[in-house]
């Protein structure tokens, strides 16, 4: 609808009736001059696809999604991709029970300083590839509520989260994971990482997962995966102060 309206700075859609709409894919794609967007009036009860919805909205500083109903949405891939000016994002009302794809969802949201996803239900998600790639202002991220049992791809999931000091993924279940290349690459502020619960039996691709994690001191592993991790050479050769702690 508004795909690549790159010069659009303002839009008034308070009277839009979207009750019967089921696809919002690319709706505001590359509206790169848009500074704010209030969609509090949108009825999204029937929407199943929100992928690429705000892709490339690089000037967007405020977005109001407080009334979004997302219970039927299955695809949120690339939803906020490249929203590099967003400093806050309230998704507390999001129902993600049926979402299967969250790949690149917050890719390049480089101004976000905090992100509360405690309400996210991720049981049906299979793809989390590059989900937080380039969220370089995030200092902490608590994903202890994430159910990752069905996830197969975590490639570059936290890549270039260079300010991240606290990452809680203590409840991650990875029995079905097969790709995790560069998952923590360039997380240069991370001092401690606990992946002792990770099961890597099905992993086929796992290169450079800790590449340039230059501040990492404590790495917690389990006895079950330590041999395979060493075998696959997950570690940056420049690690000098790394303490491997086997649990």
CA 62 to mean position of chain CA atoms: 19
Alpha-carbon Rg of the chain, whole angstroms?
19
Q: Give residue for tokens 């505001």.
A: 28
179 with 203: CB under 8 angstroms?
Answer: yes
Distance CA 87, CA 35 (A): 12
Give the start-to-end residue ranges of the domains of the chain: 1-99, 114-247
DSSP assignment string, 181-214: TTTTTT-TT--EEE-TT---TT--B--STTTT-T
pLDDT score of 219 = 87
Q: What is the pLDDT of residue 8?
A: 84
pLDDT at 31: 92
For 71, other C-beta atoms within 10 Å of its C-beta total 13
Q: How does DSSP classify residue 220?
A: E
pLDDT in tens, the chain (247 residues): 877 778 888 888 877 888 899 999 999 999 999 999 999 888 999 999 999 999 999 999 999 998 899 999 999 999 999 999 999 999 999 999 999 999 999 999 999 999 999 999 999 999 999 999 999 999 999 999 999 999 999 999 999 999 999 999 988 999 999 999 999 999 999 999 998 888 888 888 888 888 888 899 998 887 666 556 554 555 555 566 777 777 7
**What architecture is the 114-247 domain classified under in CATH?**
Alpha-Beta Horseshoe (3.80)
User: Contact at 8 Å (CB) between 77 and 48?
Assistant: no
Dihedral sign for Cα 130, 173, 93, 71, please: positive
Give the whole-angstrom CA distance, residue 245 versus residue 26. Answer: 45
């Amino acid at each position: 609808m508004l795909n690549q309206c790159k010069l659009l700075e303002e839009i008034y859609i308070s009277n839009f009736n979207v009750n019967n709409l089921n696809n919002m894919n690319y709706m505001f794609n590359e509206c790169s001059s848009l500074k704010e967007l209030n969609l509090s009036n949108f009825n999204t009860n029937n929407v199943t696809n929100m992928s690429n919805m705000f892709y490339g909205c690089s000037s967007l500083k405020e977005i109001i999604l407080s009334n979004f109903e997302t219970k039927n949405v299955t695809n949120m891939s690339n939803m906020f991709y490249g929203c590099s000016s967003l400093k806050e994002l309230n998704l507390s009302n999001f129902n993600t029970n049926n979402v299967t794809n969250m790949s690149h969802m917050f890719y390049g949201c480089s101004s976000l300083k905090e992100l509360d996803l405690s309400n996210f239900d991720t049981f049906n998600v299979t793809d989390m590839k590059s989900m937080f790639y380039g969220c370089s202002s995030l200092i902490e991220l608590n994903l202890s509520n994430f159910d990752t049992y069905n996830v197969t791809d975590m490639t570059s999931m936290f890549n270039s989260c260079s300010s991240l000091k606290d990452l809680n993924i203590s409840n991650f279940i990875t029995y079905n994971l097969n790709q995790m290349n560069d998952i923590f690459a360039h997380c240069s502020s991370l001092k401690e990482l606990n992946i002792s619960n990770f099961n890597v039996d099905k992993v086929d691709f796992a290169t450079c997962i800790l590449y340039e994690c230059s501040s990492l001191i404590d790495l917690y592993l389990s006895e079950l995966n330590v041999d395979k991790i060493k075998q696959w050479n997950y570690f940056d050769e420049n690690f000098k102060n790394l303490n491997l702690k086997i649990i």
